[in-house]
Amino acid sequence: MDSLQRAFYGLKFENAFLRQKGKAFEDLFSRIMGHASPGDFQAVRPYGNRGDLKCDGYRVSDKTVFQCYAPSAMKLANMLTKMDEDFNGAVAHWGGRMERWSFVHNEDDGLPADATQKLVDLGTANPDVSLDQTGYPELFAIVMALSVSQLEDLFGSVPSQRTMAQLDYAALRPVVSLIQKLSPDDNPPLSAPSASKLDANKLASDAAELLRQGRRREPLVEQFFNDWPDPSFGEEIAQGFRERYQALKAEDLTSDQIFSELQTFAGGMDGTPPHQAAVLAVMSYFFERCDIFEDHAEGDVGI
């Protein structure tokens, strides 16, 4: 999980923690713990007139009984009464099966002093059971230790840094949009890209063929920049490609991975055939002008 995903999921958890009340909060807690301790944590549901035996979840490994409390409006007197009733009820129902009791709540800034004292008093009166609370910081630590796939199941998908990096280059959209509407020459020269440059960058034969086919519309790209009212526009696009290439290279990606990422950067390869052809034309144009990929093998003299 990268820093962008962490920020998104941290915010999603905080929103869910503060918004979910009552049964919804209990369900959120159970789903989180189910991911955190699969096969160990067991959600407990009420059954008939037996209820849930004062237990909203049970962790087998350390014999912990979890009790959730997240009312729509928190009132201290009600909280203290709830703690008393639920703990003593759990002692009666679970007996030796309970070595730890945790009061799960959605108070983001911690429990009131009276509630903390209540936990201490209950623990003193029941030395065989360890008592604690599970609030925002405890649940946050559990959530952020989950895998991305688990977080997606809980809170949905979020963009990663890689996703953001793969967004296409906005300035290229008019280029690709126009080029795909223009008709190339019927028999354009299909000279292969520089063999030495392909070799220097270790690009696969498939990439070489794509670049070769892209040359069918490469003259249209040149014509586009020549006819554009702002003569500096082509250089701005070229600089965008150079910076994107250098950023991808710094990630230690293979040349073929970089090639694929640059295709996405140029507009993506999931659109119509004319759109894909336009993207390849743009790629070929900037490849031949050495704005992307290296112009010579390391140690050789560049052109």
CA–CA separation, 81 and 100 (whole Å): 19
**For the chain, how many residues are written?**
303
Whether the pLDDT of residue 164 is over 70: the answer is no
User: The tokens 């959209």 sit on which residue?
Assistant: 173
Q: pLDDT band at residue 290, thresholds of 50, 70 and 90?
A: low
The per-residue pLDDT of the chain, averaged, comes to 80
**pLDDT at position 136, please?**
93
Whether the pLDDT of residue 233 is over 70: the answer is yes
> Which amino acid type is present at position 108?
D
DSSP state for residue 48 in the 8-state scheme: G
CA–CA separation, 166 and 264 (whole Å): 6
Q: Find the mean pLDDT for residues 37-54.
A: 83
The continuous run of DSSP H or E covering 41 comes out as: strand 41-43
Q: Which of 38, 40, 16 lies closest to 29, judged by CA?
A: 16
Whether the pLDDT of residue 85 is over 70: the answer is yes
Q: In what order do the strands lie in the sheet with 57-59?
A: 41-43, 57-59, 64-69, 100-105, 130-134
Helices 205-214, 273-288: axis angle to 10 degrees equals 100
Whether the pLDDT of residue 34 is over 70: the answer is yes
End-to-end CA distance of the chain: 41
Joined together, the tokens standing for residue 283 give 């790629």
C-beta separation of 56 from 24 below 8 A: no
CA–CA separation, 263 and 279 (whole Å): 7
